[in-house]
Amino acid sequence: MKNINTEIIKVNSKNPENKIIRKAAYLIRKGDIVAFPTETVYGLGANAFDARAVKKIFHAKGRPSDNPLIVHISDMRMANDLVEEIPKRAIPLMEKFWPGPLTLVMKKKKNVPDAVTAGGNTVGIRMPNHKIALALIAQSRTPLAAPSANTSTRPSATEAKHVREDMEGKIPLILDGGRTQIGVESTVLDLSGHIPALLRKGKITKKDIEKIIGPVADRTQKTRGRVKSPGQKYMHYAPKAELVLVRGGVRSMRNAVREFRKKDPYVVTFSERKNMYPFAKKVFVLGKGKDEISAAKKFFSVVRRCDASGADVILVEAPSRRGVGDALYDRISRGAKRIV
């Protein structure tokens, strides 16, 4: 495919400029891809009912075609166009968490293209809590199929410049709405079977969901060789450098830094004292006191920065597993070559 010109336009995320949104929606209507911010990470969107446009996404990302896409909606009518029937349990979850970082997997209607669902009979839907995303979907007058806007297996994009790093020359437009709020992708919950099942961890936790609908099965780890969420079987969120997840706080980190000192390790940590890691090439602080909210927000951008400055090894201190910290821990461990 020949390189195309990629335009980046700054958009006001509190009050998106109509003219820019109209331009982006025009591209969507004519079957192109547009990158846009959501509250979790940037997405790479195409008209969900246009199989040709959706295939362009897989091409741009280098994504295996057996991994289905999440469809983003801006109002409930769009959900009815996508699913046979909204399951009873979905309603209180939608009321509580939409718009927001929760994707619900339900039985799809026939008209949803196989390209979106990877040939499966379910579709994952979410209503993002972001004004630019909502305006773009509404103005496009169609739901948007949108994966995270990174090259397949790379860390997700939480800033427009990350999207450019991966998508320059491959897509016509990136809407730049600044840094994303949450920084890890949405929670994915499967409501298509008898028992609700968690397929991917996110800011909304299993407990948060259980408070509303009762018991939920955890299928986020590979079980008996079968993966429920196809996306979970691939290497994910991986920097170019060797990423090592370091549990056990400062003392283990000091040991790890010493062990890797010949490789000029980069350290990603929660401890702020100066000169704590004399053998480290560079130290990035994710937040104070294992603050998981700030860490989740910064993590992907920090590992991309380590990569950009040529790191061979990145040692990452494990965050607290409270709230979104558990999802962050999950992402770090999936991107890691080793856990010590």
Give least dist CB 89 to ligand TXA, A: 16
Among 100, 113, 124, 177, binds ligand TXA (CB under 6 A): 124
Give least dist CB 231 to Mg ion, A: 7
Smaller CB separation from ligand TXA, 28 or 315: 28
Among 47, 122, 129, 148, binds Mg ion (CB under 5 A): 148
SS (H, E, C) the chain: CCCCCCEEEECCCCCCCHHHHHHHHHHHHCCCCEEECCCCCCEEEEECCCHHHHHHHHHHHCCCCCCCCEEECCCHHHHHHHECCCCCCHHHHHHHHCCCCEEEEEEECCCCCHHHHCCCCEEEEECCCCHHHHHHHHHHCCCEECCECCCCCCCCCCCHHHHHHHHCCCCCEEEECCCCCCCCCCEEEECCCCCCEEEECCCCCHHHHHHHHCCCEECCCCECCECCCHHHHCCCCCCCCEEEEECCHHHHHHHHHHHCHHHCCEEEECCCCCCCCCCCCEEEECCHHHCHHHHHHHHHHHHHHHHHCCCCEEEEECCCCCCHHHHHHHHHHHHCCEEC
Smaller CB separation from Mg ion, 134 or 149: 149
Among 188, 293, 306, 328, binds ligand TXA (CB under 6 A): 188
Using CB under 6 A, count the residues that bind ligand TXA.
29
Find the binding residues for ligand TXA in span 144-173 (CB under 6 A). 146-148
Smaller CB separation from ligand TXA, 143 or 147: 147
- Closest residue to ligand TXA, based on beta-carbon distance: 231
Smaller CB separation from ligand TXA, 153 or 252: 153
Give least dist CB 80 to ligand TXA, A: 17
Give least dist CB 186 to ligand TXA, A: 3
Smaller CB separation from Mg ion, 228 or 254: 228
For the window 94-123, what string marks contact with ligand TXA as x by the rule CB under 6 A? -------x-x-x-----------x--x-xx
**Using the rule CB under 5 A, is 192 a contact of Mg ion?**
no
Binding site for ligand TXA (CB under 6 A): 38, 40-41, 43, 67-70, 101, 103, 105, 117, 120, 122-124, 128, 146-148, 185-186, 188, 199-200, 229-232
